[in-house]
Amino acid sequence: MENTEKPLVNRVAESGIITLNLEDYFPNKEIIAFDIQKFLFRGLILREKDFRQALAELSWAEYTDKMVAVFCSAEAIIPLWAYQLIAVYLEPIAAKVVCGSIETLLTVHYHETLAKINLTEFSEKRIVVKGCGEKPVPAAAYLEIARLLRPVAKSLMYGEACSAVPLYKKK
């Protein structure tokens, strides 16, 4: 008997689809939170003299070369100068300082990082933006990459190459 079976063909590999994984752009520095709440009097009020003294006495070494998200978890009104004062201490030592949550920090990071991508390498290509990873890539990063790639891509999809959700196809 003759073997008439055809060899298996990886159609995904032959399709020319480029997989873009946003986790590849995840920060390579440690991310740390700075919560102003711990400096509030009775958890409600920021007293300038006490705050200045607490910051002056704080050991800032743990923030060295870290990406720092500065926020207040308490329902308190924080004067704008307080954020600036924290920035004065963090700027010389931290890798990045952002006002907001860790998700805000990641959003800012992705916005800045994706803006530096050479979009010509994606020109007229079929692109699938990989999803469901291990790292907490914010939704804003997926929005931003779609916004950047749409004008140059032949097609844009989300998910895995074998079962991608179509987003855009150039006509």
pTM listed for this prediction? 0.86
* Per-residue pLDDT reduced to its tens digit, 129-168: 998 889 999 999 999 999 999 999 999 999 987 888 999 9
Residues 8-15 have a mean pLDDT of 49
Residues 75-99 have a mean pLDDT of 97
**What proportion of the chain, given as a percentage, has pLDDT over 70?**
92
Say how many C-beta atoms besides its own lie within 10 A of residue 170's C-beta. 12
Residues 20-25 have a mean pLDDT of 96
